[in-house]
Chain A
Amino acid sequence: MIQVQDLRKSFGKIQALKEVSFTAADGEISGLLGPNGAGKTTTLRILYTVLQPDQGRAAIDGYDTVGQKLEAQRRVGALPDSHGLYPRLTARENIRYFGRLHGLPEQVLEQNIDHLVDLLEMHDIENRRTEGFSSGQRIKVAIARALIHQPKNVLLDEPTNGLDVMSTRAMRVFIRRLRDEGHCVLFSSHVMQEVSALCDRIIIINHGEVVACGSPEELIHSTGQSNLEDAFVSAIGSEEGLVRA
C-alpha cells in the first residue's frame, strides 16, 4: 500500500509539487494521469526514495520514505523514467546485480531470475550482453531487475513510453497480472486511453496538485461527462500535454 500526504517539493524557484495526497491500495492498479510537467515523475521519485519532499510524507506499507528509507526500498520495485542498463553485462547479469544488492541468497536469486525470464519471455536475450537491445528488450530487463526481490509495491514511470504496439500490449497484460497477484501497482502516464483501459483508480494531477481522484465511474459522475476521456479533460481544464490514443 502506498500513502501520500500533502507532498510539497520545489527545485529552486520552481514549485514542482504544491499539494499531492492520495492512497494506492494492494490488488489495484492506480494511475497517475497528467500532462508533461504536472509532477508525476517527482511524485514517483519521492516514493522510490531518490528525492525527499520539502513537506508532507510518503509511506510504502507504512514505512516512511525518508525516515525508514531502507525498509521502504525493500518493499518497492520501481521502473524509473531513466532505466539504463549496463551494456557490457548480459541481461541475466544486470538482473543478478540488483538481486545481490537486495541481499537475496544465490539460490533464491537464480530461481527468481528464471521465473521473471519466463514471465517476461526473455529466453532469447537472457544471456546476451544488453548493448544493442531494442527498447522493448531493454524495458523487460529493467522491469525484471526492479522486481527481482518480489516487492509488494510496483511503481512504473511511463512504462509504455517508446514501446511499439506489441510491447505495449504485453506491458498491459503484465501490469494486470501483477494486480491479480495482489501487488499494489502505481503507474504514471499522459496517455488517456492507457489509463482508462488499465486503472482501477485514477489520480489526476496538474501543476503539482491532485485535481481529481477516484474510480473511473466516480470520475465520470463527478465531472458530469459521458465518457472517461472527456472527464479527464474536464478535470484538467485543457487537453494540452495529454494524448488520447
Chain B
Amino acid sequence: MSAWQRITVVFWKEVTDNLRDRRSLFSALLSSLIGPVLMLVLIVLLGQTLYVSAREKPLVLAVSGAERAPQLMLFLEQNGVDLRLLASDPQTAVRNGLYEVVLVIPNGYQEAFSQGLPAPVQLVMDSSRQSASVSVNRARALVNAYNLQIGNMRLLARGISPTVTQPLAIQQLDMATPESKAGFFLNMMPYFIVLVVFLGGMYVIIDTTAGERERGSLEPLLINPVARWEFVVGKLMAAIPFAVLTIFITLVAFAIAFNFFPLQTYIGIHIRLSLRVLAEIFLISIPMIVLASALQMIIATFTRSFKEAQTYVAFLPLIPAIPGIGLALLPIKASMWMMLIPTFGQQLIINKLMVGEPISLSYGLVSAAATLVISLVLVFIAVRLYEQERVLFGPR
C-alpha cells in the first residue's frame, strides 16, 4: 500500500466525518455569505448618502442676510437652489448640523458691491463632515459662477474683452471608470474573499487536530502503521473541499449581488462581474487555502481543546486584514515584490481584476508560487510537530 493510498484513506474519512458535522457545514455556508451580505448592507446604507442624494436633490442652501443681495438670490434660484432664509446664527446652525452649508451676506456687501470693490461673502461649512462636501462644492461653484458673470459684465461695460482675465482655459478630463468610482466598495471585496479562505476549512482543521485529541482518538490513530506526515497531509487535504466550496458560494453570491441587485440606485453606477473575472478570482484564491489550513493546523496542534483552538484560530484572518484595510483606504500600485507576500499579493490582484485593470499573468503566477512555497514550509512545520511525542498530550 502506497503513501498516497493511506493519505486518501485519511482524507475520505475526515471528509465523510465532517460532512456529517452540522457545525462544519453550517460555518462554511454562513461564512461564505458574510462578505456579500455585509457589502450590500453597506452599499444600501452608505451609497445613498455618499453618491446619489447629494447630486440629484436640489441643493439646500441657507442664506443669512439674503435681503442684501437680491440679484445673487435670483441667480441661485435660477440655478435650481432651494433657498432657506436663516435668521439665527449661521455658525451654530452648521455646527449643530442643521444645515450643511450657509451663505452669509455680511453688512458691508451692498456698499462694496455698488462701489465695484470685492464684496465680502462667507460660506460657513464643516470640512470634517464628509457627507456635506458635495453640497459645499456645489455652493462654492455657484457663487464662483456668479462672481465670474458679474466680473465679465463689468469688463464688457468698460469695453474690455472678458478673455483678458482668463489666460488659461482649464479643461478637466476625468479618467475615472464606473468601477473605480465605486472603488470604496470594491476595495472591501478582496479582504472578504481572503476572510472566507480562512473560515471555510477552519472547523475541519480544528476537528481533525485539536478535536481528535480532545475526544481521545488521536492515540489509537497514531498506533496505525501510517507515517505522521501522511496523517498531516490527509487531514490538511480534507479541509480543501470545504474551503473551495465556501469560496465558490461567496463568489456566486457576489456575482448575484453585483449583477442582479439594482446597485445603480444606490451608488449611481453599475458594476459588472464577468464570469471570467470570477473564475480568475477563484483561481487566485486556491493557493491561499493550503496556507490558511497549514497555519490553522500549527496553531490547533498547540491548543488543549476544540474551544481553545477555535479562539486562537479565529484571530488568524485579522492578519491579512491589516494590509487589506490599507488597500481599501490608499490606492497602492501593485509591484512584483508585493506578490511575494501571501494574501497581500492576492488581495492586490483581486482588486485589479475587479476594477477591470489589466494585470499581467506573471503576477498571478509569482503570487501563487510564493504562497505555495511558504505553505509547504508551514506544512513541514506541522509535520514536525506531529512527529513529536507531545502531540499526544497537547501543551502542558
Tell me whether B17 is interfacial, beta carbon within 8 Å. Answer: yes
In the assembled complex, which residues on chain B have CB atoms less than 8 Å from the CB atom of A174? none
Whole-angstrom distance between the Cβ of A46 and the nearest chain B Cβ: 10
In the assembled complex, which residues on chain B have CB atoms less than 8 Å from the CB atom of A87? 215
Interface size, B (range): 20 to 34
Tell me whether A84 is interfacial, beta carbon within 8 Å. Answer: yes
Whether A76 touches B223, Cβ cut-off 8 Å, given contacts A52-B389, A85-B217, A103-B5, is yes
Tell me whether B6 is interfacial, beta carbon within 8 Å. Answer: yes
A98's nearest neighbour on chain B, judged by CB, is B224
Number of A interface residues at 8 Å Cβ cutoff, please give it: 32
A52's nearest neighbour on chain B, judged by CB, is B389
Q: In whole angstroms, how far apart are the Cα atoms of A103 and B227 in the complex?
A: 13
Chain B residues 1 to 55 lying within 8 A of chain A, measured CB to CB, are: 1, 5-6, 9-10, 13, 16-17, 20-21
Whether A82 touches B216, Cβ cut-off 8 Å, given contacts A50-B389, A103-B6, is yes
In the assembled complex, which residues on chain A have CB atoms less than 8 Å from the CB atom of B216? 82-84
Tell me whether B219 is interfacial, beta carbon within 8 Å. Answer: yes
Contacting pair B220 A89 (CB below 8 A): no
Chain A residues 78 to 92 lying within 8 A of chain B, measured CB to CB, are: 78-89
In the assembled complex, which residues on chain B have CB atoms less than 8 Å from the CB atom of A78? 220, 223
Contacting pair A103 B17 (CB below 8 A): no
Q: In whole angstroms, how far apart are the Cα atoms of A85 and B211 in the complex?
A: 11
Q: In whole angstroms, how far apart are the Cα atoms of A48 and B221 in the complex?
A: 11
Whole-angstrom distance between the Cβ of A9 and the nearest chain B Cβ: 10
Q: In whole angstroms, how far apart are the Cα atoms of A100 and B221 in the complex?
A: 12
Q: In whole angstroms, how far apart are the Cα atoms of A103 and B215 in the complex?
A: 25
Whole-angstrom distance between the Cβ of A77 and the nearest chain B Cβ: 8
Whether A84 touches B13, Cβ cut-off 8 Å, given contacts A51-B389, A73-B225, A103-B1, is no
In the assembled complex, which residues on chain B have CB atoms less than 8 Å from the CB atom of A146? 220, 223
Residue from the list B5, B218, B222, B225 in contact with A74, Cβ < 8 A = B225
Contacting pair B225 A102 (CB below 8 A): yes
Q: In whole angstroms, how far apart are the Cα atoms of A84 and B216 in the complex?
A: 4
Whether A80 touches B17, Cβ cut-off 8 Å, given contacts A50-B392, A103-B1, is no
Contacting pair B217 A86 (CB below 8 A): yes
Of A52, A71, A73, A80, most buried by chain B (CB within 10 Å of CB) is A80
Please give the residue numbers on chain B whose beta carbons come within 8 Å of chain A beta carbons, in ascending order. 1, 5-6, 9-10, 13, 16-17, 20-21, 215-227, 389, 392
* 23 chain-A/chain-B pairs, Cβ below 8 angstroms: A49-B222, A51-B389, A74-B225, A78-B220, A80-B219, A80-B223, A82-B216, A82-B217, A82-B219, A83-B219, A83-B220, A84-B216, A85-B215, A86-B17, A87-B215, A88-B17, A97-B9, A98-B220, A100-B9, A100-B13, A101-B224, A102-B225, A146-B223
List 8 A-B pairs, minimum CB-CB distance, nearest first: A84-B216, A103-B1, A82-B216, A73-B225, A84-B217, A84-B215, A101-B224, A88-B20
